Amino acid sequence: MNAAMTQTGFWRGRRVFLTGHTGFKGSWLALWLQRLGAQVTGYALEAPTQPSLFDEAEVAGGLEHILGDVRDANAVSAAMQRAQPEVVFHLAAQSLVRHSYAEPVETYATNVMGTVHVLDAARRTDSVRAIVNVTTDKCYENLETERAYRESDALGGRDPYSNSKACSELVTQAYRQSFFVPGTNGAASTGVATARAGNVIGGGDWAVDRLVPDLLRAFDRAEPAIVRRPHAVRPWQHVLEPLAGYLTLAERLCAQPLQYSGAWNFGPRPGDMRPVDAIAAALTSALGEHASFVVQAEAGAPHEAGLLLLDAAKARRELDWDSALELEEALRWIAEWHQAHRAGRNVRDITLEQIGRYEARLGRTAARAAASAVE
């Protein structure tokens, strides 16, 4: 992320409509936008877990908090018309692979028709200048090869979650080409993009069936964590990494909507795409001597991909975005966040403090890049 762009005050006073602000990633993004001075309207269901980062960090205190379902087209439209946003971030989703097997209809209704409702509301709201639909790295037709997926690769998805997100990508493409092109409905100044992030990890995630939250819950109980698929390889990244990409992308869409519309990958450097057991080992080491895990295969478990790699060269080349944290450091930040929470520290302060440290890291990274360019 080009730190100078954020420092210019782009987000100060900017009206933002954020769906899914009660979720893990949505709460981090809402807090960052608040820190940057944006006027945020959040639209989402109740927080999906108890506890939740949304509640613990008092996210609602710094934005217009609307409880609503993206499956309700009229409610989405009414909320967006009231907010009159310039930027729309669509994060609301059913985001768990295993849950999608149990509730496929809910998954498709939320991830596909929810996207339709948000995009349709946006095309009818004259104030909107940029739309970022956050999907997933799992939207690709995953052949489980060692080649990292690029934005031009085929979409697919074997499970309902992954497939529904591929459908969300196609919906966004159709709306972009039908309603957000020069000369169509006066919408030439609106940029529309999708963002495909890797396996996002960070403090404040209490979701079920996710590796890092499962490890942390076991640590809190002083029990070994159960690791189901130790050799599965994923593109792990701290939550602030893709969020920095989303913010940069939205800024570019506002400035040059035609140039930056389209699909974007935000993934880690190749060396940080590692197997599950390596992540478990590194995090238990960061947590301390009482943390441990055991490998225990699950008979009859639904299919989950064993290998998924993401190529983020386009974002690095065209958005000046890059990872600022190596994986081991990201895991140390998670352990630090969790231990501060266990010690009773204010969660909002912990989270904003890490955002501030990350911004400082971006500034140092940008300065080094500029110095290298001069040399």
Element spanning 167, H or E: helix 160-179
Inter-residue contact 121 to 76 (CB < 8 Å): yes
pLDDT score of 198: 85
Inter-residue contact 166 to 160 (CB < 8 Å): no
DSSP 3-state of 187: coil
Cis omega (within 30 of 0) on the bond before 235?
Answer: no
Residue in the structure block whose two tokens are 């989405």: 76
Element spanning 275, H or E: strand 273-275
pLDDT score of 182: 65
User: How is domain 3-342+350-360 classified at the architecture level of CATH?
Assistant: 3-Layer(aba) Sandwich (3.40)
pLDDT score of 305: 65
pLDDT score of 8: 59
Inter-residue contact 83 to 35 (CB < 8 Å): no
Closest CA to 215 of 51, 95, 335: 335
pLDDT digits (tens, 9 = 90+) for 327-359: 999 999 999 999 999 999 999 999 999 999 999
DSSP state of 135: -
Domain boundaries, the chain: 3-342+350-360
CA atoms within 13 A on the CB side of 87: 26
Phi, psi for 188 (deg, rounded to 5)? -65, -20
pLDDT score of 5: 46
Query: Would you give the distance in Å from CA 251 to the centre of its chain?
Result: 17
Query: Would you give the distance in Å from CA 59 to the centre of its chain?
Result: 17
Cβ count within 10 A of residue 320: 16
Residues 68-101, buried b or exposed e (16+ Cβ, 10 A)? bbbbebebbbebbeebebbbbbbbbbbbbbebbb
Residue ranges with strand state E in 14-92: 15-19, 39-44, 64-67, 87-90
pLDDT score of 130: 97
CA Rg value for the chain:
20
Inter-residue contact 354 to 325 (CB < 8 Å): no
Query: Would you give the distance in Å from CA 8 to the centre of its chain?
Result: 24
pLDDT score of 3: 44
pLDDT score of 1: 46
Segments of the chain with pLDDT less than 50: 1-5, 7, 186-187, 372-374
User: Which neighbouring-strand residues pair with 266?
Assistant: 197
Closest CA to 33 of 359, 345, 268, 327: 359
Whole-angstrom distance, CA of residue 198 vs CA of residue 364 = 24
